[in-house]
Structure 1
Amino acid sequence: MNGAIKRIGALFYARNLEFVRDRAALVWNLAFPLLLVIGFSLIFSGPPKPLVQIGVLGELSPAYQPLHAIPLLKLIPYDDEGRGQLKVRHHQLDLLLSPARGHYWVNPDAPQGAMAEYLLRQTVFLPLVKESLSGQAIRYGDWLLPGVIGMNLMFSGLFGVGFVIVRYRKNGVLKRLRATPLSAAEFLCAQLLSRVLITLVVSLLVFLVAYWLLDVPLLGSGWLLLLIALVGGAAMASLGLLIAARIQNEELASGLLNLISLPMMFLSGVWFSLEGSPAWLQAVGARLPLSQIIEAARAVMLEGAGWQQVAGPLVQVILFALVCVVLGSAMFKWSAK
């Protein structure tokens, strides 16, 4: 047992030293996500877009159908009243309407809330009950930061584990390691631990710099956010391990990693929300592990969610990581032949 721990520790140290000495990879992992957050915060700072968004709980009756004819009005269906109200509080939704109850919610501090209410009153001639919801606006940079951290976890885990293992196999490093007392499980464990540590440190630095420079909110527990990053990093590294278990050349590995990472990045809500997109597309995106990581991080940062609110997504991500590790370990191949 002690021998296995020493071997894992030695390989863990060697892999971290290799990463630190690779200055290009080090600067890329540290600077790229931070520059993305700052850049998008500057680009999207300023007045809100002149598009009125109204959330709808349930189906619209015929009396509400004229709303569809308003050119600058976007109707977004909601099943969860609490989630819709939270969007109104955060200025991410101009108005929430419940046609069945004849009730609507609006934020009096939202710049476009009054316009949404005016359009509703001028179009629908029914007695409606108004309720005000107050809350602080969420800037695009605040909303973007968890997505950028999640994207960094994904790319660092997939390429930092998957691509490196394929390179080791192609260069004969794995073949030489096989001649040592090191077992496959010990090698894979060291690779995963090293990558999780690196992604965790990078994510923490990016968050702290953004927190100090951009004043992003953290309404929930910082320790819970750190746990989400830890679980997310482990899941993405495990997926990279599974992909690289038997691949023998870097070109194929790069293609497969991009084939998996790029759709996941766009369907997981890194840059924009999928609300208003087709239901089947939202369903596909919600099943992705990166979506669950980002949604959990946003819930903690922007909504003050606690352990119970994010337990479901975290358990699913942990199960996903375990499945990838088990399959990757079973399929792992030392040599290229």
Structure 2
Amino acid sequence: MRDSLRRIAALFYARNLEFVRDRAALVWNMAVPLLLVLGFSLIFTGNQKPLLQLGVVGTLPAAYQALETIPQLKLIKYEDLASAQLKVRHHQLDLLLNPAGGNYWVNPDSPSGGLAEYLLKQISMAPLVRDILPGKAIRYGDWLLPGVIGMNLMFSGLFGVGYVIVRYRKNGVLKRLRATPLTATEFLCAQLLSRVAITLVVSLLVFLVAYWLLGTPLLGSGWLLLLITLLGGAAMASLGLLVAARIQNEELASGLLNLISLPMMFLSGVWFSLEGSPPWLQAVAARLPLTQIIEAARAVMLEGAGWQEVTGMLTQIGLFTLCCVTLGAALFRWNAK
């Protein structure tokens, strides 16, 4: 057992040293996520919104159907009242209508809340009770940061493990390692641990810089956010390991990794929310591992969620990681033939 741990530690150190010496990869993994957050924070600075966003709890009655005819108004339906109210507090909704209860919620500090309230009063046939939900606005840069960190975990895990293993197999590195006492399990564990450690350090640095320079909020536990990052990095690295278990061609590996990563990047809420999109698309996106990672991180950072609120998502991420590691280890092949 001791010899096995020594071999894993030696390969872990060698892989990390290889990464540090690759200046291009080092700069890409550390600088690009931070530049994305800074750039989008500058581009989307300001409180103006292109549309009024009005949330509706439950089904919209016939008396309020006229709201759907206003082109400048976007209606978003919610089943969970608590999550919808939180969006009003964060200025992500201008107004929240509860037709069944005969009331609505508005944030008095929202610049568009008054206009949404005026339109509602012009259309409503019955008196509604006005309730207040005060809260501080969440900037786009704050909302974007968990998505950028999740995207970096995905690309770093998929290409940093999947592409590298395929390159090792093609160049004969795996064939030479097979001649050593190193086992396949030890090799895969070292690769997985190395990539998780690298992504964890990079994500921590990106978050700390954004926290200090941009004032990004952290309403929940920092340790819980660190655990989410750790599990997310393991999930993405294990997926890369599974893809590279048998592939011997770098071009094929690159194509498969892009085929996996690009849909996840656009469907997992990295750049924009899927609220208001078709229900089937939201259902598909909710099953993606990157979606679970980003939603858990945003819940902790922006909503102050605790362990109980993110346990389900963390469980799904853990099960996904376990399945990918098990299948990857079973399918792994040292040689190209």
TM-score category, normalised to shorter length? over 0.9
Residue type of the alignment partner of 1:122: Q
TM-score normalized with structure 2 length: 0.99
Alignment of 1:62-81 (within 5 A): 62-81=62-81
After superposition, what is the alpha-carbon deviation per residue over 1:206-242, rounded to whole angstroms, capped at 9, x for unaligned? 0000101101000011111000000000000000000
Tell me the distance in 1 between the aligned counterparts of 2:199 and 2:61: 50
- What's the Cα RMSD here? 0.6
Residue type of the alignment partner of 1:336: A
> Is the Cα contact below 8 Å between 1:239 and 1:321 reproduced in 2?
yes
Tell me the distance in 2 between the aligned counterparts of 1:162 and 1:127: 60
> Is the Cα contact below 8 Å between 1:55 and 1:77 reproduced in 2?
yes
Residue 68 of structure 1: how far off its partner (Å):
1.1
Alignment of 1:147-158 (within 5 A): 147-158=147-158
- Report the equivalent of 2:103: 103
Residue type of the alignment partner of 1:199: T
After superposition, what is the alpha-carbon deviation per residue over 1:240-260, rounded to whole angstroms, capped at 9, x for unaligned? 000000001100000000000
> Percent same amino acid at aligned positions?
79
- Report the equivalent of 1:179: 179
> Is the Cα contact below 8 Å between 1:66 and 1:124 reproduced in 2?
no
Alignment of 1:116-131 (within 5 A): 116-131=116-131
TM-score normalized with structure 1 length: 0.99
After superposition, what is the alpha-carbon deviation per residue over 1:47-91, rounded to whole angstroms, capped at 9, x for unaligned? 321411111111111111111111201100101000000000000
Tell me the distance in 1 between the aligned counterparts of 2:48 and 2:90: 13
- Report the equivalent of 1:325: 325
Residue type of the alignment partner of 1:5: L
- Report the equivalent of 2:31: 31
> Is the Cα contact below 8 Å between 1:88 and 1:94 reproduced in 2?
yes
- Report the equivalent of 1:219: 219
Alignment of 1:230-249 (within 5 A): 230-249=230-249
In structure 2, the residue corresponding to 1:121 is in which secondary structure?
helix
After superposition, what is the alpha-carbon deviation per residue over 1:288-328, rounded to whole angstroms, capped at 9, x for unaligned? 01001000000000001111111110010000000000000
> Is the Cα contact below 8 Å between 1:143 and 1:298 reproduced in 2?
yes
Structure 1: 4+ residue segments shifted above 3 A? none
Unaligned runs of 5+ in 1: none
1:5 equivalent to 2:13? Answer no
Alignment of 1:36-55 (within 5 A): 36-55=36-55
Tell me the distance in 2 between the aligned counterparts of 1:207 and 1:298: 13
Aligned residues: 337
Residue type of the alignment partner of 1:255: G
In structure 2, the residue corresponding to 1:320 is in which secondary structure?
helix
1:258 equivalent to 2:280? Answer no
Tell me the distance in 1 between the aligned counterparts of 2:168 and 2:56: 54
